């Protein structure tokens, strides 16, 4: 059963992971990246209805008898890990793309918004 929760937590954290890759272009220090990851994780823990997928997953897990005191912190921890990894990957990718870090991040976020607006993301 825990493996199913880990897979669900991984799936729910992919939106934060994608955003973190774009933000990784800012080349944050590892300390600052950890702070960003912790903020993402805290908000995923404290406010799971921030996205429909989290709200539906939380409701479904509640109906199955899972305690929110277990699932919310677990999903928040997974979000911290995935965000931190995404920031690192974005930082590495930024070394290969010869643009200013703020411009690179801005372009990546605009592309993400466009793709999501088309319903592809």
What is the per-residue pLDDT across 47-99, written as a single tens digit (0 to 9) for each?
868 677 777 787 788 888 888 888 889 999 999 999 999 999 999 988 888 77
Name every residue whose Cβ is closer than 8 Å to that of residue 86 and which is 6 or more positions away in sequence. Answer: 16, 17, 18, 19, 20, 21, 23, 24
Q: Is the whole-model pTM more than 0.85?
A: no
């Amino acid at each position: 059963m825990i493996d199913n929760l880990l897979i669900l937590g991984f799936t729910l954290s992919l939106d934060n992971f994608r955003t973190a890759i774009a933000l990784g272009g800012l080349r944050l220090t590892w300390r600052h990246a950890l702070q960003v990851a912790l903020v993402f994780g805290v908000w995923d823990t404290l406010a799971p209805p921030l996205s429909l997928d989290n709200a539906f997953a939380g409701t479904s897990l509640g109906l199955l008898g899972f305690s929110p005191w277990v699932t919310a912190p677990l999903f928040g921890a997974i979000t911290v890990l995935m965000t931190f990894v995404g920031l690192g990957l974005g930082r590495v990718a930024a070394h290969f793309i010869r643009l200013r870090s703020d411009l690179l991040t801005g372009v990546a976020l605009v592309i993400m918004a466009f793709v999501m607006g088309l319903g592809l993301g």
